[in-house]
A and B are shown apart, each in its own frame.
Chain A
Amino acid sequence: MTLASLLPFLAASEARAEGTFWMPEQASTFAEEVDWIYYFIYWIDVLFFFLVIGAMVYFAIRYRAKTGKERTSPLKGSHSLELAWSAIPGLILLSFFWFGFQTYMDMQVPPKDALNIRVTGQKWNWSFEYPDYGIRQGGDQGLVVPSGQPVMLTMSSVDVLHSFYIPDFRVKKDVVPNRYSTIWFEAKGTGDHQVFCTEYCGDDHSRMLTKVHVMEPAKFREWVRDNKADDGPVDGQSLFSSMGCIGCHSIDGSKLVGPSLKGKYGTDEQLTDGSTVAIDDNYIRESIMVPGAKVVAGYAPQMPPYQGRLNDEEVNALIDYIKTLK
Chain B
Amino acid sequence: MSSTTGDLAPGHEHDHHASYLTATKGVASWLFTLDHKRIGVMYLVAILTFFLIGGLAALGVRAELFTPEPDLFTGSQYNRWFTVHGAVMVFLVLVPSIPASLGNFFLPLMLGQKDVAFPRLNLLSFHIYILGALFLIYTLISGGVETGWTFYTPYSSTTDSSVISALMGAFTLGFSSILTGINFIVTIHKMRAPGMTWRKMPLFLWGTYATSLIQVLATPVIAVTLFLLMFERTFHIGIFDPALGGDPVLFQHFFWFYSHPVVYVMILPAFGVISETVSIHSRKHIFGYMAIAASSVAIAFIGFLVWGHHMFVSGQSELSGTIFSLITFGVAVPTAIKVFSWVGTMYGGAIRLNSVMLYTLAFLFIFTIGGLTGLFLAVLAVDVHMHDTYFVVAHFHYVMMGGTLMGFIAGIHHWWPKMTGKMYNEKLAKFGCLVVFTGFNLTFFTQFVMGARGMPRRYHEYLPEFQLWHQLSTIGAFTLAAGLFITLGYLLLSLKNGEKASKNPWGAKSLEWETESPPIEHNFVGQVVCDHGPYDFDEIDYSRG
Contacts and interface: CB of A to CB of B under 8 A. Distances in A.
Interface of A: 1, 6, 8-10, 12-13, 15-16, 19, 21-24, 30, 33-34, 37-38, 41-42, 45, 48-49, 52-53, 55-56, 59-60, 63-65, 68, 70-78, 81-82, 85-86, 89-90, 93-94, 96-97, 99-105, 107-108, 159-161, 163, 165, 167-168, 170-174, 176-179, 181, 194, 196-207, 300-301
Contact of B329 (A21, A76, A93): A93
Contact of B318 (A38, A108, A163, A205): A108
B315 A205 contact: no
B284 A75 contact: yes
Given A22-B449, A22-B453, A198-B388, A206 B461 contact: yes
B54 interface: no
Contacts of B282: 63, 72
A100 B540 contact: no
A24 B454 contact: yes
Nearest to A54: B343
Nearest to B458: A200
B348 A75 contact: yes
B117 to A, nearest CB: 31
A100 B324 CA distance: 13
Nearest to B452: A22
A100 B381 contact: yes
Contacts of A12: 464-465
Most chain-B CB neighbours within 10 Å: which of A16, A52, A53? A52
A86 B341 CA distance: 11
Contacts of A53: 364-365, 368
Contacts of B539: 70-72
B235 interface: no
B242 interface: yes
B459 interface: yes
Interface string B86-126: 00000000000000000000000000000000000000000
B410 interface: no
B72 interface: no
Contact of A104 (B74, B318, B343): B318
A130 to B, nearest CB: 23
Most chain-B CB neighbours within 10 Å: which of A38, A76, A173, A201? A76
Contacts of A168: 454
Interface stretch (B147-155, B431-439, B486-494): B147-155
Interface stretch (B177-185, B258-266, B287-295): B287-295
B75 interface: yes
The 4 closest A-B pairs by CB, nearest first: A73-B348, A167-B454, A100-B379, A104-B380
Contacts of A34: 381-382, 384-385
Interface stretch (B40-48, B186-194, B401-409, B467-475): B467-475
Interface stretch (B23-31, B224-232, B299-307, B332-340): B332-340
Given A97-B325, A161-B154, A173-B315, A48 B372 contact: yes
B537 interface: yes
17 contacts: A6-B468, A22-B452, A52-B340, A65-B283, A65-B350, A71-B539, A72-B539, A73-B284, A82-B288, A89-B332, A100-B380, A100-B381, A105-B318, A159-B154, A168-B454, A172-B385, A177-B154
Nearest to A90: B333
B220 interface: no
Contacts of A301: 160
Contacts of B352: 65, 68
A105 B454 CA distance: 22
Interface string B246-289: 00110000000000000000000000000000000011111111
B285 A74 contact: yes
Given A34-B385, A49-B368, A74-B542, A55 B343 contact: yes
A56 B346 contact: yes
Contact of A38 (B321, B382, B462): B382
A21 B449 CA distance: 8
Interface string B372-398: 110110111111110111000000000
Most chain-A CB neighbours within 10 Å: which of B75, B249, B350? B350
Contacts of B452: 22-23, 38
B541 A196 contact: no
Contacts of B449: 21-22
A82 B541 contact: no
Contacts of A73: 284, 347-349, 540-541, 544
A299 to B, nearest CB: 12
B333 A104 contact: no
Given A100-B378, A105-B318, A107-B381, 19 more contacts: A1-B471, A12-B465, A33-B381, A45-B372, A56-B343, A56-B365, A65-B350, A68-B350, A71-B541, A72-B350, A75-B348, A77-B289, A78-B288, A100-B380, A100-B381, A159-B158, A165-B454, A171-B384, A200-B148
Contacts of A103: 380-381
Interface in B440-459: 449, 452-454, 456-459
Contacts of A71: 350, 539-541, 544
B243 interface: yes
Given A65-B350, A70-B350, A160 B388 contact: no
B373 A45 contact: yes
Nearest to A182: B315
A96 B318 contact: no
B388 A60 contact: no
B544 A41 contact: no
B148 A41 contact: no
Most chain-A CB neighbours within 10 Å: which of B154, B155, B287, B382? B382
A205 B336 contact: no
A72 B79 contact: no
A37 B381 contact: yes
B451 to A, nearest CB: 10
A9 to B, nearest CB: 4
A8 B466 CA distance: 11
Contacts of B148: 200
